[in-house]
Amino acid sequence: MREFTVRPEILDFAPYVPGLTIEQIQERYGLTSVIKLASNENPLGTSPLVVKAIERNAARAFRYPENHTPRLTRAVAEVAGVPEECVLVGNGSDEIIDMLFRMKAVPGISNVVFYEHSFAMYGMCAKLCGLECRVVPRGEDCALPLDALAEAADENTAMVVVTSPDNPTGLAAGVEDLTVLAGVLPRDCLLVVDEAYIEFAWPPESYSPVQAFDKFENLVCLRTFSKAYGLAGMRLGYGIMPAPLAALMRNARIPFTVNLLAEEAGLAAIEDEVFFNETLATVMRGREYFTNELTRLGCKVWPSQSNFVMFRPPMDAKTVFQTLLEGGIIVRHLGSFGLADCIRVNVGTDKENRLFIQALGDILNG
């Protein structure tokens, strides 16, 4: 094969490794029914109102969508309680993360600060942009090291990224601590709070700084339709940020990144409060059940403000993961997060949750 010349830092890129799909596992182990609790997707699937909205608009697929997704931007601003000028809707919150890095950071000069065992996108985007990554160690039990993040930042830090609620631990930073962090960062440094799971944090006012958004000049919050709204496959997320930054990003980005069906799906998802509330109830019930049952089975369990639970089983985690897989239950082994002795399992339907606990119990007691 011919070798291609690219920027040298691209040559040793570690690709993003997604969770395994149901089809892959069915084929590999000859299984007919497989339960997937690996990618933090919505336990209730897709809202029926969303399905109808997509069907209703399917024949409009030949049209370009409206650029910058104005109707959904307005709806999202209302839900978040922030001015419309501060919202940027994107092709998943991943698009917003990627754009932020490319817009804000200067290759070879800027650095970005985040903590270890976090979402792979931050490191990937930083590397692609030629930025220095300052990866801050976590404290005991993977506590979020907010003070150490502030210490690692200097005048060349483009942004500090905090995932809260955190993936994969489920831990969440309190709103006071985030406010303090925003206040002590160097003048030109953004605090980016990835709130992909914020809908599951309870009570929300203890966790999200968005409620006091007008008091911050350097705060960016990232949210997504992939989890609580059940739209991971449609690719829809948004950033809440100071209006001047949002305006610059609107100017610089490529057109039409959010497709026409995704905008309709997002609008319908916001309308369907029944589905949203049922999702929250299922997740809260499921994570309490997991926390109790996993503890009973002798696992170390992290308290979760999210739609998943991280735990350390009392035997080799990779073996547990593999045995579950062969029995048709997909969870996430956390080797790729640098936590090889831990597993993350997301809340499914009540029945899926019971089957998972049963299967795990058989493995640990067998």
Q: Is the CB of 164 or the CB of 323 nearer to ligand PLP?
A: 164
Tell me how far, at minimum, the Cβ of 94 lies from ligand PLP, in Å.
3
CA-to-CA distance for 306 and 197, rounded, in angstroms? Answer: 6
Tell me how far, at minimum, the Cβ of 10 lies from ligand PLP, in Å.
21
b/e burial code for range 276-302 (CB count within 10 A of at least 16 → b) = beebeebbeebbebbbebbeebebebb
Residue nearest to ligand PLP (CB): 92
Phi, psi angle pair for 113, to nearest 5°: -115, 130
CA-to-CA distance for 349 and 355, rounded, in angstroms? Answer: 10
Token pair for 190: 């953004």
Tell me how far, at minimum, the Cβ of 302 lies from ligand PLP, in Å.
15
Tell me how far, at minimum, the Cβ of 157 lies from ligand PLP, in Å.
20
Q: Is the CB of 93 or the CB of 305 nearer to ligand PLP?
A: 93
Q: Which neighbouring-strand residues pair with 157?
A: 111
Helix axes 260-271, 273-296, angle to 10 degrees: 80
How many H-runs (helices) and E-runs (strands) does the chain carry?
13, 13
User: Applying CB under 6 A, which residues contact ligand PLP?
Assistant: 40, 92-94, 119, 163, 167, 194, 196, 224, 226-227, 232, 237
Contact assessment for residue 16 and residue 337, using Cβ atoms and an 8 Å cutoff: no
Tell me how far, at minimum, the Cβ of 167 lies from ligand PLP, in Å.
4
Q: Is the CB of 125 or the CB of 355 nearer to ligand PLP?
A: 125
Name the residue among 147, 143, 140 with its Cα closest to residue 113: 147
Q: Is the CB of 123 or the CB of 237 nearer to ligand PLP?
A: 237
Q: Is the CB of 196 or the CB of 357 nearer to ligand PLP?
A: 196
Q: Is the CB of 93 or the CB of 157 nearer to ligand PLP?
A: 93
Tell me how far, at minimum, the Cβ of 226 lies from ligand PLP, in Å.
3
